[in-house]
C-alpha cells in the first residue's frame, strides 16, 4: 500500500484516472455478482431471482449508517422474510392457477428428502399426483408402521418450465421418490439413504442380473451415472435396497389407474420380482440411472 501511495505521489496526473478505474471495476464486479445470484436463484427455485431483485431495490433505500454486522443481519433478515413470505404464503395460490399444489413438508408419512426441495420450490405437483403419492405413503405407513416416504424433485410452481437438470419434470405430473433401505448386516430399517441430495446412492447390480448401467456406458452414455459423483456419505452406513418394502410400494402405485408408468433399473425390477408389471419400465440410456430413486408419472 505504501509503494502504491508513492506511485500516486510521483504521478499525480494519473491518480484520478486510477481511482475512477477502481470504482468502475468495483461497480462492475458487484453487478456481475448480483446478476449471477439472480440467475442462479431463478434457475434453482424459479421465484428466488425476482425476490432477490426486489430486495436489492429495497436495500438501496435503507440507511448505511450502521455497523457492518448489524447491516448484514438487517439485510439477510429482510431477504429471508421476503423469500419465505412470498414462497410459502402467496406462491401456492398463484401456482394453483397452473394446476399445481405443493407436497407436504412436515407430514407424518410423506416428507422431502431435504428441506431444500421445498425451500427451492421444487416440490410442486398436480393435485392428482399429490393424492396418489400421499395415498401410497399412507399405505406404506399402515403396512410398515413408522415408515416415512421421502420425495425428491417434482416441478416448478408456475407454468411448465423445465426443472433442471431433469428432462421431463415440467407439468407437475412427474415425481422422483426415494427407495427404502435397510442395513446389510442387521437388516434394521433406516430412515433415509445417506446421500445429501437423495440421488446417486446406487443399488449395485448383482451377479446374474442384467447390467444396464454398464451397457449404457458402453454405448457412450457417459452421463448415465453422473449423479453418483455428488454423493457425500459421512454416515458410514452399509445399506442395501429393502426389496420387500419397495415391492409393496411399487405394487401399491401400479394398482392405481391414475399412475401411468414408473421408471426403475431393470435389475431392480427383476430383484423385486415384478417382471410382468407393464407399468414399470426402463427409461433408456439417454436419461440417468434409476437404481437410486424411482420416477413416477400420473395421467
pLDDT for the residue numbered 147 = 92
Q: Which long-range contacts (CB under 8 A, 24 or more apart) does 218-225 make?
A: 219/285, 221/285, 221/286, 223/288, 224/285, 224/287, 224/288, 224/289, 225/288, 225/289
pLDDT for the residue numbered 188 = 64
Beta-bridge partner residues of 280:
262
Which part of the chain has CATH 3.30.1380.10? 101-298
Indicate the fold that domain 101-298 takes in CATH.
Muramoyl-pentapeptide Carboxypeptidase; domain 2 (3.30.1380)
Report d(CA 102, CA 120) in Å as an integer: 12
For 90, other C-beta atoms within 10 Å of its C-beta total 11
Positions of the chain with pLDDT under 70: 1-22, 186-189, 233-237
Residue 48 C-alpha cell reads as 428466488
CB-based contact 224:286 (threshold 8 Å): no
Nearest-5° Cα angle at 119, 117 to 125: 55
Q: How much is the pTM?
A: 0.85
Ramachandran class of 175: left when φ > 0, alpha when ψ lies in -120 to 50, beta otherwise: beta
Amino acid at each position: 500500500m505504501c509503494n502504491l501511495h508513492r506511485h500516486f505521489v510521483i504521478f499525480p496526473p494519473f491518480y484520478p484516472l486510477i481511482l475512477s478505474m477502481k470504482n468502475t471495476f468495483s461497480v462492475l464486479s458487484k453487478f456481475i455478482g448480483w446478476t449471477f445470484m439472480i440467475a442462479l436463484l431463478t434457475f434453482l427455485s424459479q421465484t428466488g431471482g425476482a425476490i432477490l431483485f426486489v430486495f436489492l431495490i429495497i436495500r438501496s433505500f435503507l440507511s448505511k449508517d450502521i455497523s457492518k454486522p448489524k447491516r448484514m443481519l438487517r439485510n439477510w433478515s429482510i431477504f429471508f422474510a421476503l423469500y419465505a413470505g412470498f414462497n410459502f404464503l402467496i406462491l401456492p395460490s398463484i401456482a394453483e392457477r397452473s394446476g399445481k399444489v405443493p407436497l407436504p413438508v412436515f407430514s407424518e408419512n410423506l416428507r422431502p428428502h431435504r428441506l431444500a426441495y421445498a425451500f427451492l420450490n421444487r416440490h410442486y405437483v398436480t393435485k392428482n399426483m399429490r393424492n396418489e403419492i400421499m395415498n401410497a405413503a399412507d399405505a406404506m405407513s399402515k403396512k410398515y408402521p413408522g415408515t416415512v416416504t421421502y420425495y425428491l424433485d417434482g416441478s416448478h410452481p408456475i407454468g411448465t418450465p423445465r426443472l433442471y437438470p431433469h428432462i421431463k419434470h415440467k407439468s407437475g405430473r412427474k415425481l422422483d421418490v426415494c427407495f427404502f433401505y435397510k442395513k446389510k448386516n442387521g437388516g434394521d430399517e433406516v430412515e433415509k439413504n445417506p446421500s445429501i441430495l437423495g440421488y446417486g446412492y446406487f443399488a449395485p447390480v448383482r451377479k446374474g442380473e442384467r447390467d444396464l448401467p454398464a451397457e449404457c456406458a458402453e454405448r457412450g452414455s457417459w452421463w448415465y451415472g453422473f449423479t453418483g459423483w455428488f454423493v457425500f456419505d459421512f454416515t458410514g452406513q452399509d445399506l442395501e435396497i429393502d426389496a420387500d418394502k419397495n415391492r409393496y410400494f411399487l405394487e401399491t402405485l401400479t394398482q392405481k389407474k391414475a399412475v401411468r408408468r414408473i421408471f426403475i433399473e431393470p435389475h431392480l425390477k427383476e430383484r423385486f420380482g415384478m417382471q410382468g408389471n407393464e407399468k414399470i419400465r426402463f427409461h433408456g440410456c439417454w436419461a440417468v440411472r434409476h437404481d437410486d430413486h424411482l420416477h413416477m408419472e400420473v395421467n
